[in-house]
């Protein structure tokens, strides 16, 4: 997902005002990847859970920025439909993992 977002935006000619928003989606999507990697290398269930919570938050933020960039006309529904589906699926997967881990911790 992070690489697909990077590739989608790298050749866009963005007005100065919109660059910070494009940077935000690159940051949030790469944070999903980095924190998931950290979660899989966690030394304990608590560490794994902590990182998965961050992954869920960053996935949700990525969804927000995708929707926002579409609404302001930087991206289109057509060019992002597969990517939005992927992000939706990732949110569901990571939220499910988070819930199962929370139940396991009780």
SS3 of the chain: CHHHHHHHHHCCCCCHHHHHHHHHHHHHHHHHHHHHHHHHCCCCHHHHHHHHHHHHHHHHHHHHHHHHHHHCCCCCHHHHHHHHHHHHHHHHHHHHHHHHHHHHHC
Which pLDDT band, with edges at 50, 70 and 90, does 105 fall under?
confident
Whether pLDDT at 106 is above 80:
no
Instruction: Read off the pLDDT of each residue in 4-14 and give the average, rounded to a whole number.
Output: 91
Tokens of 81: 């439909």
Note whether 28 and 62 are within 8 A (CB).
yes
Percentage, residues of the chain above pLDDT 70? 99
Q: Tell me, what's the pLDDT at 47? A: 94
Which of 4-8, 13-17, 99-103 holds the top average pLDDT? Answer: 4-8
Close Cβ partners of 50 (under 8 Å, ≥ 6 residues apart): 42
Instruction: Read off the pLDDT of each residue in 70-93 and give the average, rounded to a whole number.
Output: 95
Structural domains of the chain, with CATH: 2-9+16-105 (1.20.1440.60)
């Amino acid at each position: 997902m992070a690489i697909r977002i990077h590739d989608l935006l790298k050749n866009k000619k963005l007005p100065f005002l919109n660059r910070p928003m494009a940077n935000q989606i690159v940051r949030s999507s790469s944070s999903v990847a980095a924190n998931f990697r950290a979660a899989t290398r966690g030394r304990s269930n608590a560490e794994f859970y902590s990182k998965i919570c961050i992954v869920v938050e960053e996935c949700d933020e990525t969804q927000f920025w995708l929707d926002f960039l579409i609404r302001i006309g930087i991206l289109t529904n057509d060019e992002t439909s597969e990517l939005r589906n992927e992000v939706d699926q990732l949110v569901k997967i990571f939220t499910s993992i988070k819930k199962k881990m929370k139940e396991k911790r009780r």
